[in-house]
Every structure is written in C-alpha cells, then in structure tokens.
Amino acid sequence: ASTEETCRVAAAQLKKFSGFDKVMIYQFDKDWNGDVIAEAREEEMDSYLGLKFPASDIPRQARELYKKTPYRLIPAVDYEAVKLYPVLNPKTNGFTNLSDSNLRSVAGVHLEYLRNMKLNASMSTRILKDGELWGLIACHHRTPNYLSYEACSVFELMSNVITTKISAVQAADQLVTSADSQQKLYALVQLIYQQNSPDAYQSLIASLLEADGVAVVLDKAIFTGGKTPSDKEIEDLTFWLGSNETDEIYHQSSLSSVYEPAETYAQQASGLLAIPVERGKGNFILAFRTEAVQKVTWGGNPSEAVQFESDGKKYHPRASFRNWQQTVRNTSMPWKEETLKAATDLKNVLTSYRLNNR
C-alpha cells in the first residue's frame, strides 16, 4: 500500500474508534505548509482533502513542542483556564515550564482559530519520521469531546504504525530507484570511457537525472540536448555558477527566483541541477527541467493567515477557510533526494575521469 492509502485507512479507523466528526492526516512540505492527504468525515463537515494550509497555522514553536509531546487534546474550546499557584515555583524561584504537559492551556489565538472553523473540540497527534515532524493526525468535533488517556494512547500507537508504514514504503521505493540509477550510471560510465563524446552520452545523463534537457560545458565548448537555454544564456549561467565559489552540486526548482536572467527562458528551463566538474575552468554538467505550472488550492488566502490590529501587536487568525487558488509559475518539479545522490555519483565519476585523462 502507498503512503496515501495507509493514511486513508488510518483516518477512517480512527474516526470510527474516537467518534470525532472529522479526522484528517496532514503532511508537511519543505516550507512547513500542510497538505491534507487523507480525510474521514461526517457529511455535514466541510471537506479539506487536497487543500494546503499555510505554515503559520502551526508555527515553529508549536512544531517543536510536538517533538516532545505526542498529542494535544482540546476537549472544549470554551474551557476556563486555571492559574497555577504560586506563580513562581518556590524550589526554582522561576516560572513553571509546562512544555511537556498535556494539560497546559492553549493560546487564545488558537482557540479563536478553532471557533472560526466552527469547532468545539480538537486533537492533534504527531507523525514523526527519522526523528523529525512529518505530519499530524488532526481531529475536529462540533461539540465538546472528552477522550480518556487510554483513547489518546491509541492515537499515539496509530501514529507509530503510520510512521513505520511510511518508512517501509519509502525505503522500498528508494531501493527500486537506487537500483535503476546504478544501472544507468554503469552504462554511462562505460560510454564515457569508450567514446568520451558529450554528444554520445547526453541522453543517458538526461535519463539518469530525469531532466528535460542537458548542457555539457567542457573546455569552453557547449554541447546541448533536449530543452535548454541558448548557448549564450548557458555561458552566462555557468559564469554566474562559477562565481558562487562552491564545488557542491547546486539545485533549484525556480531558477528565475535567484537568477533574474532565467525569467526569459523559464518555460523550457525553470529547474536547474548543476554539477561542477571543474568549476575553476567553467566545466559543468547542467540539467534542466521545464516549467510545471501548478494550481495550488489553499484553505483560505495564505496572505491573510494572520491579521494584525491597528496597534501592530494584537493579532487574529483568518476567519475564512474558503478555497483560494494560486497559480505557481516559473517553477519545475522539485529535484528528489535520489536524483541528487545520482548527480553526486556522476560528479565523482566525471571528476575522476578528467583527473586521470589530462
């Protein structure tokens, strides 16, 4: 089963077990925005499946707390907070740190956020992968919902099951990808040592790096194949890359966001993976990916996620969660970790070849 299928089953079973009106599984992207990848709900509840929620909904300090505590239960948003007494701990002469306590009160802005969603109770359970926060199991209810400690423990157990399944699925996928990459790299190495002609092995590089176009820049000569910028544009790009003073592989899915001249050829080369073979001499392997226009549907306008009052200090969460669509341009599909590893292997092969054949 895929990660999404595993999460769909988990959401359905947890809803059935807990009685929550809606159970969602929420996966973080690289910018900590959250994508709802699975959902089980009552018909009357709004569907958030497939929507993206801004990172500000779960700020950094909240994400850090999920590494310490497995879940956060708010059984009723209209609860009355009880102050600790005494205010200062007599043993430490300082405030009591409640970070590890499930009974600590909730920030008023978060309660307002839940009320704006027309909710009366919520629960969030972490999903960790390799010690980092991968996602959350988010539960919503229209009336107060008091869960026992035993019931909360079931959510924690299911979180571990999901983590194990995700790791297993991704490990299997990586094994297949790695085997395929090694096979392509072996064929590429043979071709390089047999023919040493960039025209002969460009297509294999494109296949290895899953690129739409490749430019091989060696000793001031430029060899291109597939969808690439012009030779002059490639020459300017390699000069810019060379000025970065790093021999590490460079990758970018939105080249024009960091290199303004790339806007003119963003349609055929929005993404760049640059392999420095001999940076000082301007020798590079450049892999390009075409623009992949994406329509992202957000749960409310992300630019209105936080609204400040006139004093600039007090703030409120957004009141609307209606679908808000954004068109993302000048961006390619992202470069996967497996592709970056293959690029590193290729760099090592080419660097060794150049050193041994001077």
Mean pLDDT within 7-21 = 93
Domain total in the chain? 2
Query: Is residue 139 domain-shared with residue 266, that is, in the same domain?
Result: no
Query: Is residue 131 domain-shared with residue 43, that is, in the same domain?
Result: yes
* CB neighbourhood size of 183 (10 A): 11
Per-residue pLDDT tens for 300-311? 888 877 777 777
Q: Name the domain boundary from 132, 152, 170.
A: 170
Q: Name the domain boundary from 154, 170, 186.
A: 170
Per-residue pLDDT tens for 169-213? 888 877 887 888 888 888 888 877 777 777 778 888 999 999 999
Average per-residue pLDDT for the chain: 88
What 3-state DSSP class applies to 125?
A: strand
pLDDT range class, residue 100, cuts 50, 70, 90: confident
What 3-state DSSP class applies to 123?
A: strand
8 Å CB contact between 324 and 163: no
Mean pLDDT within 353-358 = 70
| Whole-number pLDDT of residue 150 | 92
Q: What is the CA radius of gyration of the chain?
A: 26
Per-residue pLDDT tens for 84-94? 888 888 888 88
> Does the pLDDT at position 260 exceed 90?
yes
Per-residue pLDDT tens for 142-173? 999 999 999 999 988 988 888 888 888 888 87
| Whole-number pLDDT of residue 353 | 75
Mean pLDDT within 43-62 = 92
Asked whether residue 307 is domain-assigned, the answer is no
Query: Is residue 140 domain-shared with residue 76, that is, in the same domain?
Result: yes
Q: Name the domain boundary from 170, 185, 214.
A: 170
Asked whether residue 89 is domain-assigned, the answer is yes
8 Å CB contact between 72 and 102: yes
Mean pLDDT within 229-247 = 90
Asked whether residue 176 is domain-assigned, the answer is no
Cα 330–chain centre separation: 18
Mean pLDDT within 37-42 = 96
Query: Is residue 135 domain-shared with residue 205, that is, in the same domain?
Result: no
Residues spanned by the domain of 129: 3-170
Here the CATH number for the domain that contains residue 111 is: 3.30.450.40
**pLDDT greater at residue 190 or residue 354:** 190
Query: Is residue 53 domain-shared with residue 139, that is, in the same domain?
Result: yes
Query: Is residue 225 domain-shared with residue 352, that is, in the same domain?
Result: yes
Query: Is residue 164 domain-shared with residue 237, that is, in the same domain?
Result: no
Asked whether residue 13 is domain-assigned, the answer is yes
Q: 226-249 b/e with 16+ CB inside 10 Å = b?
A: bbbbeeebbeebbeebbeeeeeeb
Here the CATH number for the domain that contains residue 227 is: 3.30.450.270
Query: Is residue 259 domain-shared with residue 160, that is, in the same domain?
Result: no
| Whole-number pLDDT of residue 138 | 95
pLDDT range class, residue 3, cuts 50, 70, 90: confident
| Whole-number pLDDT of residue 1 | 64
Q: Which of 27, 28, 18 is nearest to 139 (CA)?
A: 18
Query: Is residue 131 domain-shared with residue 203, that is, in the same domain?
Result: no
> Does the pLDDT at position 51 exceed 70?
yes
**Token representation of residue 225:** 């194949």
| Whole-number pLDDT of residue 327 | 84
Query: Is residue 211 domain-shared with residue 69, that is, in the same domain?
Result: no
State percent of the chain over pLDDT 90.
49
Mean pLDDT within 216-231 = 92
Asked whether residue 320 is domain-assigned, the answer is no
Asked whether residue 215 is domain-assigned, the answer is yes
**Token representation of residue 346:** 């290729």
Query: Is residue 59 domain-shared with residue 107, that is, in the same domain?
Result: yes
8 Å CB contact between 54 and 33: yes
25-29, 78-82, 278-282, 338-342: range with lowest mean pLDDT: 278-282
Query: Is residue 16 domain-shared with residue 156, that is, in the same domain?
Result: yes
The Cα 227–Cα 164 span in angstroms is: 40
> Does the pLDDT at position 121 exceed 90?
yes
Whether pTM exceeds 0.85: no
Asked whether residue 322 is domain-assigned, the answer is no
Asked whether residue 93 is domain-assigned, the answer is yes
